[in-house]
Amino acid sequence: MLRRTFWLAALAACSSSPSAGAPDRATLACAQTIDAACGTAASSCVRKWADLPRCGRMLGTRPCGAYMAFVTSGVDTSSTSYYDASGSLVAIVDFGLVRAGCVAGPSPFVEPSCGELTPLPACADAGP
């Protein structure tokens, strides 16, 4: 029950009034631009869809309106990176026990409605 209450509170804190015609979508204020978030050597951003991993545990993709989304999941966290039709990174949205909201992207960013998650296949064993 506590976890459910947290998620409802987190969603309420991150969203504003829904835009007309899109009642299921959250409008988020992104903390910084993609360039600012991804411009450091310590950044783990993958700026192009073509450069994303094609296998791995806890990873998946899903169609999201005009975007494709790459989802990285953990035990109590997830991060979704949204890519446009050209394959460029547009926004990064995190959900977790410590932080929830738009990490980077345009502000405001309207989260699109998404289809089903397709998990990536496991990577082949690299050997002993």
Tell me the domain boundaries of the chain. 2-16+25-119
Which pair of structure tokens corresponds to residue 21? Answer: 């015609």
Q: Residue 127 has what pLDDT?
A: 47
How distant is the alpha carbon of residue 25 from its chain centre? 14
Whole-structure pTM value: 0.76
pLDDT digits (tens, 9 = 90+) for 8-37: 333 333 333 333 444 456 899 999 999 999
DSSP 32-66: S-HHHHHSSTT-----BGGGS-SS-TTEEEEEETT
Model confidence at 112, pLDDT cuts 50, 70, 90, reads very high
